Amino acid sequence: MKKYALHLLVLSHVFSVQSLKIVCTDQLERFFLAPDNVVDVLQLARLCDAPRLSLICTRMIVGDFKTISLSEGWKVMRRANPSLEQELLEFLVEVDTRRQERAKRMEEKKVYLQLYEAMEALVHICRDGCRTIGPWDQKLKGSQVVCKFPACKGIELLVRHFSACKKRVPRGCANCKRMWQLLELHSRMCSTPDTCRVPLCRHFKDKIWHRSKKEEIKWNILVCKVLESNA
């Protein structure tokens, strides 16, 4: 089997010996495939109707394309079977595109999760108070206490900046603009604006009715994404 697996694969296909074909493909998958022969095995697998072996070869080529595309087998295949080369290149582009899209989705989810954590930290600071910041009627816990909200420190710095910045308007400095966006995003996610202790919660709820339809769609998509990130 070690010496004649390829030959036996061809014979098993010609004489329709399915059990032998299974054994041959298993041997080739586990012990024979290498960057210098995978292109040849792929072509043989396609001729012998061995879809599993064909798929494994294709994945191996995509996974180590830089090395395999320089092999002698690839050069011969390019001359003898250019349609297969085109097919493999298209598959490589498709895999790379899917990988980029997956990375982009993961990055987007990370951003939305950070926004969700920022919302939680903002409510925590305004309602309960934290180490060195909070509502006037709450006793602060001191800087030595460890906060369970990961975004709390960043939101604390943002709130302190917002309270002292002289450009504290919606189109002011970048930090203030971020704070305005957080306040509005919280308001859209808040179900108790009348009793909420986050500043301007009720104000932004009332302001929603004056937004344009296009702007409302944008905000609604953002709210959905933020909520999904924590699902």
pLDDT tens for 17-65 read 999 999 999 999 989 999 999 999 999 999 999 999 999 999 999 999 9
What single-letter amino acid sits at 56? I
CA angle 216–200–159, rounded 5-degree value: 105
pLDDT > 70: percent of the chain? 94
Do 67 and 108 reside in the same domain of the chain?
A: no
Predicted TM-score (pTM) of this structure: 0.60
Q: Find, among 231, 203, 200, 229, the residue nearest to 122 by Cα.
A: 200
Cα Rg for the chain, rounded, in angstroms?
A: 30
94 assigned to some structural domain: no
Do 51 and 153 reside in the same domain of the chain?
A: no
Do residues 202 and 127 touch, judged by C-beta distance below 8 A?
Answer: no
Do 115 and 55 reside in the same domain of the chain?
A: no
Q: How confident is the model at residue 181 (pLDDT cuts 50, 70, 90)?
A: confident
Tell me the pLDDT tens digit for each residue of 75-85. Answer: 999 999 999 99
Q: Name the residue range of residue 142's domain.
A: 102-229
State the CATH number of the domain containing residue 136: 1.20.1020.10
Do 224 and 120 reside in the same domain of the chain?
A: yes
Do 184 and 106 reside in the same domain of the chain?
A: yes
Do 106 and 76 reside in the same domain of the chain?
A: no
Torsion, Cα of 205, 207, 210, 214 (10° steps)? -70
86 assigned to some structural domain: no
Do 112 and 184 reside in the same domain of the chain?
A: yes
